Amino acid sequence: MAALQTLREWIGIQQFPPATQSKLLEILGKYKEEDVSSLTVLVMGKGGVGKSSTVNSVIGEKAAAVSTFQSEGLRPTLVSRTRSGFTLNIIDTPGLIEGGYVNDQAINIIKRFLLNMTIDVLLYVDRLDVYRVDDLDRQVVGAITDAFGKEIWKKSALVLTHAQFSPPDGLNYNHFVSKRSNALLKVIQTGAQLKKQDLQGFSIPVILVENSGRCHKNESDEKILPCGTSWIPNLFNKITEISFNGNKAIHVDKKLVEGPNPNERGKKLIPLMFAFQYLLVMKPLVRAIKSDVSRESKPAWELRDSGLASRRS
Amino acid sequence: MEAVKEAVRKIKSLVIPHADEKDNGIVFEIKLNETDQRVEKWGLDPSLDFFEVTGNCNLGRPNSEGSNQSLMGSVTIRNIFNPKLDDLLSKIEYVRFLEAVKKPRNRTFKTSFFNSRKLSPVFTGGPGYEDLVPPMFVGRDCLKATITENLTRQRELTYGVMFEEIITRDENRRISENGLLLSPDGGISINGPPTTLSGTGIDHIATLQANITRDNTKLVNGAVVGEKNIFQVDQGLGIGNNFPLFNRHQLSLTSFIQLKQVEEGSDKPQPPVLVLHGRYGGCIGDLPSYDVFALGGPNSVRGYSMGELGAAKNILELGAEIRIPVKNTHVYAFAEHGNDLGSSKDVKGNPTGLYRKMGHGSSYGLGVKLGMVRAEYTVRHNRGTGALFLRFGERY
């Protein structure tokens, strides 16, 4: 599908201040060195957490429609931009929660949209300024795991939006970020049912993001977080690290879209099962019945009747 | 008119009540015996819920001319006030008693053609969704040939082959390919779980069947005591649409444990009895929705309607009942549990999850046996509510 799309030059990169541009070009140089010509990033999460805003901020233009109050449609959006022979694909998706439930229909639409694509990086987006996690977060992570497999989390990052948020009184910013991140990483671990050996020392990176126009800037006119980090180059750096982290990218093929077919499971065992049932269940039962018949005790009334009959004769 | 009057004079009538689980109604079957060995049965089924009256007529000629053969025919019209061809249920059965000199087991060969039309317990809504999910009907035309060996009066081995055409229809009698899909945002579409293996609403299946019953129960002053095991296999032969290959099996174990020694004899009291029951059902391979194991129902987990707990590829049911004799009958307490062993999601389309069923459930209650009728008060664990039921026949 990406091949059919007319490649658009990444003009939005010129919107960034020169300091950010030079850092991004340096990152693109890494892909050239590694002979990688394209990167596909999948952005997923609950509704209203800032997925489309993040895509727009990263591309540098209004590529995905954003409205503060309007609910998203159900169609994913592929944003494709080319620069110096390198193509960046970002896939924005609808929110996975609707009316208090995981929207299985949205997940199926996303999977069909991704057919024959390869996902290099998954960005799981949530908000920094929400204090609690609940079972719904776990269900969303579970749905993503059911759709793409546990391996997706080895190619993923946790993105926290609204990073310019001021923590509650008395809490240090870094401390709050740490607590919020750990809570969500724990949700990802339990929701995806990841065990320690599944991760093998891999830890999911956390990326802070501020998409608002009121984002603070440093002396180089770059958008910075409260801790002083310029977040757009940082985001690209983290994506690059994930892309080259040695774990395999997720190829979405027909089998993954349709999901495993439970009817096929164990089908080859049917002749064995049939033989087992005949030899080890049916035949012993028949033998047991015959021994029951030969050993069967007669009820008392039958004995009494036969005694009476013999006495009468 | 003269022939009718002559027939009426020869008739003895006997009214036999039956439980009709399909409609939650009561069938009063009127059995008419003619003196010339022909058998006729008329039945009326006042199922007020459906505003239908069912009539059926059975004609039979057992032991036709002394040649160890039997031919029976049966036609049922679901609604005698508004008959439709779709509602005709028929059965033709030919029975022959085989005589073998070397092995004189009581062996019977039976060929029957019959059709049935039942409400699918899979396409029903869970708690709070009962009215959202419309009914789905499964119609079957079956041709069946079996051999039955009666090892004794109550121990039986049956094996045979069955060919089936299955058609699924919605409440408007149109062929239905999929159930409803309920979206979380309240939307409804018709892309839900497939009703048949082929996805077209019509399936053709060939099956080997085997069924063996080991029954060591006896009566102690009228109370059932002993042990009963049933094993059943349906083996799909890979013939038909999509070449369905499956192995569907059930094992049922029931123990009636006498809790106190009593003196045997007429007019002696019945002993108290503890009944323990377990049932396992499993399937490997292609399993269409109409053949999945339904959890919930009078013969599954009491207190729930059929399929109310879920539909699964593997099920486990456990039950216990303690019977205390009172005068000429007994009162009893029971507890039952059913579980899908996590296999509901393996049914294509996951109708259990889609229609918001639990997949497992329990119930307990008290009851009293009054002749052929059981009055039970059952509490459903999943809902926390209780209800009074009248049942016919035995649960175990």
The mean pLDDT value of chain A amounts to 78
A196-220 tens-digit pLDDT: 666 667 678 888 888 888 687 787 8
Q: A155 pLDDT band (50/70/90 cuts)? A: confident
Cβ contacts of residue B9 below 8 Å, gap of 6+?
Answer: none
Q: Which one, of A92, A83, A88, A120, lies nearest residue A9 by Cα? A: A83
Domain boundaries, chain B: 1-33, 98-392
- What per-residue confidence (pLDDT) applies to B243? 82
Euclidean distance between the first and the last CA atom of chain B, given in angstroms as a whole number:
47
- What per-residue confidence (pLDDT) applies to B3? 57
Q: Do A266 and B285 touch (CB under 8 A)?
A: yes
Q: How far does Cα A289 stand from its chain's mean position?
A: 56
| Gap between the Cα atoms of A174 and A169, Å rounded | 13
pLDDT(A38) > 90: no
| Gap between the Cα atoms of B89 and A211, Å rounded | 68
Q: Which residue has the higher pLDDT, B266 or A25?
A: A25
Q: B184 pLDDT band (50/70/90 cuts)? A: low
Number of Cα atoms under 13 Å in the Cβ half of residue B34: 17
Apex CA B359: angle with CA B357 and CA B351, to 5°?
Answer: 55
| Residue A167 DSSP class | P
Q: Which one, of A144, A28, A40, A146, lies nearest residue A92 by Cα? A: A40
Number of Cα atoms under 13 Å in the Cβ half of residue B334: 32
| Gap between the Cα atoms of A33 and A59, Å rounded | 22
Q: A69 pLDDT band (50/70/90 cuts)? A: low
Q: Are A160 and A126 in contact (CB under 8 A)?
A: yes
- What per-residue confidence (pLDDT) applies to A99? 66
Q: Specify which of A111-120, B228-237, B255-264 reaches the highest per-range mean pLDDT.
A: B228-237
Q: Are A245 and A109 in contact (CB under 8 A)?
A: no
Region B14-23: mean pLDDT is: 48
Q: A4 pLDDT band (50/70/90 cuts)? A: very low
**In chain B, pLDDT over 90 holds for what percent of residues?**
10
Q: A312 pLDDT band (50/70/90 cuts)? A: very low
Region B267-281: mean pLDDT is: 88
- What per-residue confidence (pLDDT) applies to A300? 54
pLDDT(B112) > 80: yes
B194-240 tens-digit pLDDT: 888 888 888 888 988 898 888 888 788 888 889 888 998 888 988 88
Region A98-102: mean pLDDT is: 66
B335-386 tens-digit pLDDT: 998 988 888 878 877 888 878 787 889 998 989 888 878 898 989 777 687 8
Q: Are A190 and A157 in contact (CB under 8 A)?
A: no
Burial B80-106 (b: 16+ CB within 10 A, else e): eeeeeeebebebebebeeeeeeeeeee
A214-266 tens-digit pLDDT: 687 787 878 888 878 788 888 888 888 888 878 778 888 766 776 767 777 68
Best of B147, B148, B155 to mutate (most A CBs within 10 Å, chain A): B155
Chain A: nearest CA to B284, how far in angstroms? 6
B299: helix, coil or strand? coil
Region B58-74: mean pLDDT is: 60
Chain B: nearest CA to A305, how far in angstroms? 12
| Gap between the Cα atoms of B167 and A157, Å rounded | 49
pLDDT(A58) > 60: yes
| Gap between the Cα atoms of B221 and B214, Å rounded | 22
| Gap between the Cα atoms of B352 and B338, Å rounded | 14
pLDDT(B246) > 70: yes
The mean pLDDT value of chain B amounts to 75
CATH topology classification for B98-392: Porin (2.40.160)
- What per-residue confidence (pLDDT) applies to B29? 47
Lowest mean pLDDT among A14-28, A295-309, B200-214: A295-309
- What per-residue confidence (pLDDT) applies to A236? 85
Q: B160 pLDDT band (50/70/90 cuts)? A: very high
Radius of gyration over every alpha carbon of chain B, rounded to an integer in angstroms:
23
Lowest mean pLDDT among A206-220, A299-313, B18-32, B333-347: B18-32
Region B87-97: mean pLDDT is: 69
Q: Are A65 and A76 in contact (CB under 8 A)?
A: no
pLDDT(B21) > 80: no
Region B258-269: mean pLDDT is: 78
The kind and range of the H/E element at A311 are helix A300-312
- What per-residue confidence (pLDDT) applies to A101? 61
**In chain B, pLDDT over 70 holds for what percent of residues?**
71
Q: Are B240 and B246 in contact (CB under 8 A)?
A: no
Tell whether residue A118 is among the known ligand binding residues: no
pLDDT(B291) > 70: yes
Query: In this complex, is the C-beta atom of B184 within 8 Å of any C-beta atom belonging to chain A?
Result: yes
pLDDT(B88) > 70: no
Nearest CB to B284 within list A100, A273, A292:
A273
pLDDT(B1) > 80: no
pLDDT(A162) > 50: yes
Region A81-110: mean pLDDT is: 78
E-assigned strands of A97-154?
A: 97-98, 101-102, 118-119, 121-127
E-assigned strands of B153-222?
A: 155-169, 181-182, 188-189, 202-215, 218-220
Cβ contacts of residue B391 below 8 Å, gap of 6+?
Answer: B19, B298, B373, B374, B376
Angle between helices A18-33 and A231-243 (to 10 degrees): 10
Q: B281 pLDDT band (50/70/90 cuts)? A: very high
Chain A: nearest CA to B57, how far in angstroms? 37
Minimal-distance CA residue of chain A relative to B287: A263
Q: B38 pLDDT band (50/70/90 cuts)? A: very low
Q: Are B217 and B154 in contact (CB under 8 A)?
A: yes
Q: Which residue has the higher pLDDT, A297 or B6?
A: A297
Q: How far does Cα A66 stand from its chain's mean position?
A: 22
Q: Are B340 and B360 in contact (CB under 8 A)?
A: yes
- What per-residue confidence (pLDDT) applies to B185? 55
Tell whether residue A49 is among the known ligand binding residues: yes
Query: In this complex, is the C-beta atom of A26 within 8 Å of any C-beta atom belonging to chain B?
Result: no
List the beta bridge partners of residue B204: B165
Contacts of B348 in chain A (CB under 8 A): 262-263
Q: Chain A neighbours among B 61-100 (CB < 8 Å)?
A: none
Q: Do A266 and B210 touch (CB under 8 A)?
A: no
Query: In this complex, is the C-beta atom of B188 within 8 Å of any C-beta atom belonging to chain A?
Result: no
- What per-residue confidence (pLDDT) applies to A75? 63
Nearest CB to A263 within list B218, B219, B348:
B348
Q: Are A87 and A40 in contact (CB under 8 A)?
A: no
| Residue A10 DSSP class | -
| Residue A25 DSSP class | H
- What per-residue confidence (pLDDT) applies to A137? 84
Contacts of B210 in chain A (CB under 8 A): 277-278, 282
The kind and range of the H/E element at A285 are helix A283-295
- What per-residue confidence (pLDDT) applies to B49? 37
Tell whether residue A187 is among the known ligand binding residues: no
